[in-house]
């Protein structure tokens, strides 16, 4: 059934009537996504793209049974929109904004305690189950349905991996962009677990970056719990220490969060490691062959 | 965003955290006036630059007389201070902080930061103050004590007391708890990502004092802290990075020869890595971001080419919300608006890729087109080798 989203997902868009949100909502619908409406405070009762607009997430959920939201609000107000979605009981909340204050996310994750929303992002390209559901800003046409799960921090590196796989005829079950911020929603480990439990996924590509302990923690979990092959890549082997590489979270602080250290740790834990970013696709193909599955 | 020590101490003072009496000055005369005002017979002169390692580099000096104070101040202001963090060119000292010197018995380390493992604020304390805390963490991790703060309750007094006991500050329990609580309030209210007091000292009179302080703030939260945003000192930042930021570009200067223009931070890093794998070094990290207009791309070219080390340019775009046709327009515009000697390698993929390639082909420019990431990196390094060997840039023509 893929992970987090599929054709049964009932999707709303927060910040629905904005320019970017409109563009990506149209693209999502064209990709087969079941978009059931949107939220723009103050514009409730109108329609947009032929769909109902609501003043609040609570109203939208009550009226449409929505269980997934794509948040296209700007970073200064995106966390408020996210908290509103969590409070309304939305199952999956995708937050695209780049530039969300870190302390806002610290509080949001505490707010999540006892609640069950899966947050994807912020600073994320979103999530796509090819041909069935897309909530995000990725170019849908490069993705094809298949049996490899992809999870990455970066959007464009997700596209790069998918494109390399596509040239070899390898499709994807679901692609998740967990975002490039230091404090983010769903982490690598949680996504790996979802892929491990998903009967439609045969292998997983995990694409990390410099900074933070998430990649290695996820690799440790995979080594102990996963039966499916995991292929790991970490960008930034050439990045200098102490300089932030674009993403707020992409900065080397200690010895353990360099790309080299993460790749070495992954390899030690038994993952298939890609050291050349141009070889992600071919490495996935080889790993699938070794595992005796054809995606 | 980092701020100067004197600015950090003003903030600490505003939150009721004790700091030594002192003031920032821009001249030796002002230094003498400050000495008069704060009294005492020994003063510390501290160079105000953002880089650490000042003490070892001669950026922190003690004066035992007014004459010596004026002399040290005069010598320090206008000099270039080279520390282990500034690079060999050093940093121009424009102002110094004058403080009354105090006798200290013991030194501690105190820090607060957003811990990525727990995704919460961590309070870190150590009895090994006044030294490089990362060194302590490496050699003696057992001497570092950490409390994680639940954002719902905030820092709890008992957590502060635990830290006080762990680092041997039981005898000053109450003021230590008060100090930690005030620092935590500052961190939360002002969106600080790092607050360090190193060292925290106990004076002969038994007072706790923040002898040195470092504060770093979340750039993304500055929109709600006009007072903090004002403290930004652009002289302490790389002017090219500041300029790039003004154009909506994320740029970091590196030391190689292959200039990079990429979209997305992850792909930009991977492109740098691919260049290294092919045996060369990237001259920069540059992310043009999403929705890059032709102007933005042209600006990216200009900024990359300002670096005299750049001998070849690699454009690597995987367009999602970007458009390859706009990127191609930008490449064409950049090459028409300035003389570019460096060979340009272009790899385009994603949204509107056919249109983008057509624009490049019809431009009649000598561009080297690449099929994919690996091809792009390989061709960029090959072009670099050709330039280094003294060949005239090989006119590659435009080919699909």
CB contacts of A157 in chain B (<8 Å) are 264, 266-267, 270
User: Per the confidence metrics, is the pTM higher than 0.90?
Assistant: yes
Active-site residue flag, A247: yes
Residue of B nearest to A159 (CA): B318
| Cα atoms in the Cβ-side hemisphere of radius 13 Å centred on A281 | 19
Q: Is the pLDDT of residue B169 over 80?
A: yes
CA nearest neighbour of A133 among A184, A71, A189, A175 = A175
User: Would you say the CATH fold of A144-295 matches that of A1-122?
Assistant: yes
Residue of A nearest to B255 (CA): A240
A130 and chain B in contact, CB less than 8 A: no
Q: Is the pLDDT of residue A138 over 80?
A: yes
Q: Is the pLDDT of residue B135 over 90?
A: no
CB B305 within 8 A of CB B293: no
Q: Is the pLDDT of residue B78 over 50?
A: yes
Which one of A135, A246, A276 would you mutate to disrupt binding with B, by most B Cβ within 10 Å of its Cβ? A246
pLDDT score of B91: 93
Cβ contact B349–A277 (<8 Å): no
Share of chain A above pLDDT 70, in %: 99
Predicted confidence band of residue B392 (pLDDT cuts 50, 70, 90): low
User: How long, in residues, is chain A?
Assistant: 295
Who contacts A125 (Cβ-Cβ below 8 Å, separation ≥6)? A96, A136, A137, A138, A154, A155, A158, A159, A177, B320
A256 and chain B in contact, CB less than 8 A: no
pLDDT score of B339: 84
Mean pLDDT of A240-264: 90
Q: Is the pLDDT of residue B320 over 90?
A: no
Q: Is the pLDDT of residue A272 over 90?
A: yes
CA nearest neighbour of A231 among A190, A285, A179 = A285
Predicted confidence band of residue A242 (pLDDT cuts 50, 70, 90): confident
CB contacts of B254 in chain A (<8 Å) are 238, 240
Q: Is the pLDDT of residue A186 over 80?
A: yes
pLDDT score of B393: 55
Residue of B nearest to A98 (CA): B220
pLDDT score of A1: 62
Predicted confidence band of residue B399 (pLDDT cuts 50, 70, 90): very low
CB contacts of A211 in chain B (<8 Å) are 116
CB contacts of A248 in chain B (<8 Å) are 219-220
Mean pLDDT of A66-72: 98
Cβ contact B114–A153 (<8 Å): no
The CATH architecture annotation of domain A144-295 reads: 3-Layer(aba) Sandwich (3.40)
Q: Is the pLDDT of residue B130 over 90?
A: no
CB proximity under 8 Å: B 341-360 to A: 349-351
Q: Where are the beta strands (DSSP E) in chain B?
A: 22-25, 43-47, 60-63, 80-81, 91-92, 96-100, 104-115, 120-126, 144-149, 192-203, 208-210, 213-217, 250-253, 258-262, 284-287, 312-319, 344-350, 367-370
User: How long, in residues, is chain B?
Assistant: 400
Cβ contact B272–A76 (<8 Å): no
CB contacts of A83 in chain B (<8 Å) are none
Residue of A nearest to B225 (CA): A101
Cβ contact A235–B269 (<8 Å): yes
CB B327 within 8 A of CB B363: no
CA distance B24 to B6: 6
Cβ contact A213–B117 (<8 Å): yes
Q: What is the pLDDT of residues B332-350, one digit of tens each?
A: 999 988 888 999 999 999 9
Cβ contact B266–A155 (<8 Å): yes
pLDDT score of B400: 36
Q: What is the pLDDT of residues B228-253, one digit of tens each?
A: 999 999 999 988 899 999 999 999 99
Rounded (to 5) percent helix, strand, coil in chain B: 40, 25, 35
CB contacts of B218 in chain A (<8 Å) are 101-103
Which one of B53, B220, B266 would you mutate to disrupt binding with A, by most A Cβ within 10 Å of its Cβ? B266
Q: Is the pLDDT of residue B290 over 90?
A: no
Q: Which CATH number fits domain A1-122: 3.40.50.300, 3.40.640.10, 3.40.50.1980, 3.40.50.720?
A: 3.40.50.720
- A67 phi, psi to nearest 5 deg: -125, 0
Average pLDDT value over all residues in chain B: 94
Q: Which of A102, A159, A239 lies closest to B114 in CB terms?
A: A102
User: Which residue is associated with the tokens 């921090």?
Assistant: A153
Share of chain B above pLDDT 70, in %: 98
Residue of B nearest to A218 (CA): B117
H-helix or E-strand spanning residue A191: helix A188-197
CB B360 within 8 A of CB B331: yes
Q: Is the pLDDT of residue A39 over 80?
A: yes
Residue of A nearest to B378 (CA): A278
Cβ contact B268–A277 (<8 Å): no
Share of chain B above pLDDT 90, in %: 84
Residue B189 neighbours by CB distance under 10 Å: 11
pLDDT score of B59: 95
A177 and chain B in contact, CB less than 8 A: no
pLDDT score of B104: 86
Q: Which of A102, A153, A275 lies closest to B218 in CB terms?
A: A102
Average pLDDT value over all residues in chain A: 95
Q: Please give the domain boundaries of chain B with CATH numbers for all domains.
A: 1-19+104-236 (3.30.470.20), 21-101 (3.30.1490.20), 239-388 (3.40.50.261)
Q: Is B256 left (phi over 0), alpha (psi -120 to 50) or beta?
A: beta
Q: How many CB pairs under 8 A join A and B?
A: 166
Q: What is the pLDDT of residues B184-217, one digit of tens each?
A: 999 999 999 999 999 999 988 888 999 999 999 9
CB proximity under 8 Å: B 243-272 to A: 250, 252, 254, 262-272
CB contacts of B151 in chain A (<8 Å) are 106-107, 110
Question: In this predicted complex, what is the ipTM?
Answer: 0.94
Q: Where are the beta strands (DSSP E) in A40-171?
A: 47-48, 51-54, 68-71, 92-95, 118-120, 126-129, 133-136, 145-152
CB contacts of B262 in chain A (<8 Å) are 156
- B150 phi, psi to nearest 5 deg: -80, 120
pLDDT score of B395: 46
């Amino acid at each position: 059934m893929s992970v987090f989203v599929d054709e049964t997902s009932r999707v709303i868009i927060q910040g629905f009537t904005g320019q970017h949100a409109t563009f990506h909502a149209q693209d999502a619908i064209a990709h087969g996504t079941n978009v059931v409406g949107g939220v723009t405070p103050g514009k409730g009762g109108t329609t947009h793209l032929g769909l109902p607009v609501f003043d609040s997430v609570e109203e939208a959920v009550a009226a449409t049974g929505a269980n997934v939201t794509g948040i296209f609000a700007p970073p200064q107000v995106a966390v408020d929109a996210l908290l509103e979605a969590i409070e309304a009981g939305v199952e999956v909340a995708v937050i695209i904004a780049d530039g969300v204050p870190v302390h806002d996310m610290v509080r949001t994750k505490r707010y999540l305690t006892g609640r069950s929303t899966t947050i994807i992002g912020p600073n994320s390209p979103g999530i796509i189950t090819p041909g069935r559901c897309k909530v995000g800003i990725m170019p849908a046409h490069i993705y094809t349905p298949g049996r490899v799960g992809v999870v990455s921090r970066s959007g464009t590196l997700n596209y790069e991996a998918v494109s390399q796989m596509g040239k070899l005829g390898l499709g994807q079950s679901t692609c998740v962009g967990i975002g490039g911020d230091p404090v983010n929603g769903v982490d690598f480990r949680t996504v790996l677990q979802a892929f491990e439990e998903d009967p439609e996924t045969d292998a997983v590509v995990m694409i990390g970056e410099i900074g933070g302990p998430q990649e290695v923690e996820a690799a440790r979990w995979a080594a102990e719990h996963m039966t499916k092959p995991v292929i790991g890549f970490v960008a930034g082997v050439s990045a200098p220490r102490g300089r932030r590489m674009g993403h707020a979270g992409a900065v080397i602080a200690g010895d353990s969060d360099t790309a080299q250290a993460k790749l070495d740790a992954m390899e030690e834990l038994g993952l298939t490691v890609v050291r050349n970013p141009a070889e992600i696709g071919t490495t996935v193909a080889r790993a699938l062959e070794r595992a005796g599955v054809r995606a | 965003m980092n701020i100067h020590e004197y600015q950090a101490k003003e903030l600490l003072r505003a939150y009721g955290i004790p700091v030594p009496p002192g003031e920032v000055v821009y001249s030796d005369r002002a230094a003498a006036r400050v000495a008069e005002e704060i009294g005492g017979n020994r003063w510390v002169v501290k160079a105000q630059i953002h880089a650490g390692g000042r003490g070892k580099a001669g950026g922190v000096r003690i004066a035992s007389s007014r004459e010596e104070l004026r002399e040290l101040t005069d010598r320090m202001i206008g000099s270039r201070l080279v520390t282990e963090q500034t690079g060999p060119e050093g940093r121009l000292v424009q102002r110094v902080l004058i403080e009354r010197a105090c006798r200290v018995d013991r030194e501690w380390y105190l820090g607060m930061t957003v811990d990525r493992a727990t995704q919460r604020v961590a309070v870190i304390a150590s009895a090994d103050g006044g030294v490089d805390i990362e060194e302590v963490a490496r050699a003696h991790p057992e001497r570092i004590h950490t409390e994680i703060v639940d954002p719902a309750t905030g820092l709890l007094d008992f957590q502060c007391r635990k830290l006080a006991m762990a680092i041997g500050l039981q005898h000053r329990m109450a003021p230590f708890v008060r100090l930690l609580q005030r620092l935590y309030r500052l961190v939360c209210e002002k969106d600080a990502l790092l607050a360090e007091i190193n060292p925290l000292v106990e004076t002969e009179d038994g007072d706790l004092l923040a002898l040195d302080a470092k504060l770093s703030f979340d750039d993304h939260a500055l929109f709600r802290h006009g007072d903090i945003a004002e403290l930004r000192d652009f002289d302490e930042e790389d002017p090219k990075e500041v300029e790039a930021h003004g154009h909506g570009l994320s740029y970091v200067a590196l030391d190689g020869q292959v200039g990079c223009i990429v979209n997305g931070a992850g792909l930009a890093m991977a492109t740098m890595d691919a260049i290294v794998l092919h045996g060369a070094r990237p001259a920069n990290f540059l992310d043009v971001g999403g929705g890059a207009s032709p102007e933005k791309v042209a600006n990216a070219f200009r900024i990359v080419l300002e670096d005299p080390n750049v001998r070849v340019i690699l454009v690597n775009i995987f367009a999602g919300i970007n458009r390859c046709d706009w990127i191609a327009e930008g490449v064409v515009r950049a090459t028409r608006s300035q003389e570019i000697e460096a060979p340009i390698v272009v790899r385009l993929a994603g949204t509107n890729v056919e249109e983008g390639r057509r624009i490049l082909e019809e431009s009649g420019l000598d561009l080297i087109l690449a099929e994919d990431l690996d091809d792009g990196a390989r061709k960029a390094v090959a072009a670099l080798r050709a330039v280094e060997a003294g060949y005239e840039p090989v006119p590659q023509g435009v080919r699909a």
